[in-house]
Structure 1
């Protein structure tokens, strides 16, 4: 793959002789792609097209930049705007504010409780309004585009004096006001994390009333459901009810079936999701690993085959260590070890690979990393998700075709989240692009070494500007705040 310079012309950049996988699921084809400013100028056999810069892409796949639909990058895009953990995977857009936790609008003056502390333990790093967060992103952009959800737990923490109950009518009205202001300032919807203590006491009607702010195409509702273990099917029905009652699209976050006695239940959950899709607007995402990661939680520890500590405020030196080994070294039981380590995070080996593959192969599933960028020893999904799909589940396992995998990481994702002009390679769309080697692409991040960049990703462009080239970030920061 080489660059060459040519005389000035209608195209700024011409990518020649790539295997084009356009994000729609259509068969791959050989061709060229021309870029002008931030847009795709033309695509096809462009033999007569001249350009100021020509990239020889023979032997490489050209695809839309991947959309990471499930992230917790709210603060990372400000603290680490080069976003190497994402652009090194071919990611050009991140959806932030998932699982009910977002960096704005937080109107509380107290320290952020778990799980808000996954974004930051420092209240001063949160924003009182979504408009102030949006202004910061626009003034100090990242290498990637950002689309932002508002977290239900963030709203509750700011408005309620106690979180162990459902919200009153007055409190729902206050939360809805903050949500509507955020939607007017560019937020794309509401996320919930009903599994977490900050929102567990919320009744279904509370979420319905808030979600009604997004009716009529104003936004979407994504959810880390109330239960992903024994009560997963009941939690699905609650999710469908919220969407139907509020008349909004719902997206099931990181769909899974946790705990050994629930292995294989994805047969039933996917059947329920497929049936619901016939009645209403429903989507789902998944990450391609059989281990989860969140705050250190005894409920999750109890159902896990193995647990690694991903961070600990009182014992940062123990990040990456197995929880059972820590407990044995301290000569205490696991519950006491959790208490000594907390606040802390964990990586939980709690799913069956067969369920992960079945959910990933489901035609309407999209891909999200759910990475936690501020963990001291993060889950490898932060650095490896998208190349893992391409290397393991396309090339090695043949679970997906190359075209379908790219669709699940770009075109279908853009449709779910209402990202106009993104996710497909066609003239007029934004030039968010990734060039990769289909024979070499693979994740290299492991549970032991979770921050290793993947192999096989050659170039990444965001809005027509290169952010990753030959194994390094370029320093460019062309990302934008995206709305619906």
Structure 2
């Protein structure tokens, strides 16, 4: 009788490839952090030091959250319950141009780096130091990282409301190259934010030039997600073609009431671009976004919830209109008095979100903000919401397709070797859940709620979440980029 560290019995496997599967049950053996063997139930003569009855539930790869702002959270709160409890086993940090490293602050972090945490938490002047901190913290989930353009800008520029000089770009490139040597996934930008908006296309193109030789990629929060979105997508495509690297458009959306109904047009632009470059996108399964409170987005066309305010913390959880009515002020003046602040913007249409989620180019990212005292529910609920609301209840796509968008496709896009699939000898990042009951329970009113239907989660072969509780042994690792990403074609 073969002995293994763990044996999971009687589970229905959906392997992350997108292939539809039968209802046949399998036993899966884990050893030394990897999937050691897979056999139909009843055919194996295995014994495990630990054994779990899958009870006919679905066993899939652990979910890969491709768009997070967990940069500091994985070190300061390494138990990572918001992610583990929804089946996430890997987070990708450093999105939207903001990253915890390499960062050297002179005073307070610039907007939107404040989303990551307080000034004293930015303690990683080089990417190598950040990697070492992850090793020491040993979070409960794996961590892979992008390098943020805004973070690099604030390291080397006296002010951020202007383009960088050639010398400043070269200094930024030096730090980016150091990060790439330590396995960073690539460069991210957040050109919509005031502290990056002044950066020219040429600044980003020059900064992105070292990416190709490292097999890295370019991810971007577009310069606008409102009416000018097609032009912003064109700029992103130009940057990635110049750098000869794949492009990932972060949290793709048609934001603002005047932009609703344009998902088909936006997705067609992606399909057209795919003929001459590698391009994909991610999205979260909600019709509301969340970020810092932006005066340019203040409107009465949709609700805006205040989730945090430094001068008025008591306003968290109330809408901007409620606060304005209470204070007897207009929306814009109220927003000014609340700053610095964070907000949720109910600025998308359900039809657009559904079309984007269902597109083959789309993977799933939560874009959750763990430092926010009243976070958007996506922090705790994004992945079970895809499984429950969009796949099971609405039939937007099959369960196998949903799993691929959260696992295998994500691992392939970001170069995470031997992860994202239930295959022999792959790392044993796994989630066991009941497909009939899995659902998000986090709401805008009560956002910090664990998902229903998640039975067990393994990270690198270690049982990390079971029966609603995080387990004592954390087994997450820093994941360097592995293998060349498929590069885009050179610019014409």
Give the TM interval when normalised to the shorter protein.
over 0.9
Match of 1:256 among 253, 258, 282: 253
1:110-132 Cα offsets, whole Å, 9 max, x none, are 21111011112314534111111
Written as runs of structure 1 = structure 2, the 5 A alignment for 1:386-465 is 386-465=383-462
Does residue 17 (structure 1) correspond to residue 10 (structure 2)? The answer is: yes
State the superposition RMSD in angstroms. 1.2
Residue 70 of structure 1 corresponds to which residue in structure 2? 67
Give me the whole-angstrom Cα distance separating, in 2, the residues matched to 1:378 and 1:53. Answer: 36
Give me the whole-angstrom Cα distance separating, in 2, the residues matched to 1:133 and 1:199. Answer: 23
Does residue 48 (structure 1) correspond to residue 45 (structure 2)? The answer is: yes
Written as runs of structure 1 = structure 2, the 5 A alignment for 1:273-312 is 273-302=270-299, 304-312=301-309
What secondary structure, in the 3-state scheme, does the structure 2 residue paired with 1:394 have? Answer: helix
1:181-213 Cα offsets, whole Å, 9 max, x none, are 111122111110000011001111111111111
Match of 2:161 among 160, 164, 170: 164
Match of 2:237 among 237, 240, 243: 240
Which range is displaced more, 203-212 or 26-35? 26-35
Which range is displaced more, 158-167 or 92-101? 158-167
The CA deviation at 1:217 is 4.2
What secondary structure, in the 3-state scheme, does the structure 1 residue paired with 2:28 have? Answer: strand
Does residue 26 (structure 1) correspond to residue 23 (structure 2)? The answer is: no
Give me the whole-angstrom Cα distance separating, in 1, the residues matched to 2:321 and 2:105. Answer: 36
Contact 1:260/1:303 (<8 A) preserved: no
Which range is displaced more, 293-302 or 280-289? 293-302
Gaps spanning 5+ residues in structure 1: where? 1-6
Residue correspondences, number = 477
Does residue 228 (structure 1) correspond to residue 221 (structure 2)? The answer is: no
Which range is displaced more, 37-46 or 14-23? 37-46
Match of 2:381 among 380, 384, 406: 384
What secondary structure, in the 3-state scheme, does the structure 1 residue paired with 2:196 have? Answer: coil
Give me the whole-angstrom Cα distance separating, in 2, the residues matched to 1:264 and 1:126. Answer: 43
What secondary structure, in the 3-state scheme, does the structure 2 residue paired with 1:261 have? Answer: helix
Residue 3 of structure 1 corresponds to which residue in structure 2? none
Contact 1:366/1:413 (<8 A) preserved: yes
Give me the whole-angstrom Cα distance separating, in 2, the residues matched to 1:332 and 1:300. Answer: 17
Scaled by the length of structure 2, what TM-score is found?
Answer: 0.95
The CA deviation at 1:396 is 0.3
Gaps spanning 5+ residues in structure 2: where? 482-492
1:158–1:123 distance in 2 versus 1, CA, 3 Å: farther
Does residue 138 (structure 1) correspond to residue 150 (structure 2)? The answer is: no
Residue 93 of structure 2 corresponds to which residue in structure 1? 96
Does residue 39 (structure 1) correspond to residue 27 (structure 2)? The answer is: no
Scaled by the length of structure 1, what TM-score is found?
Answer: 0.97
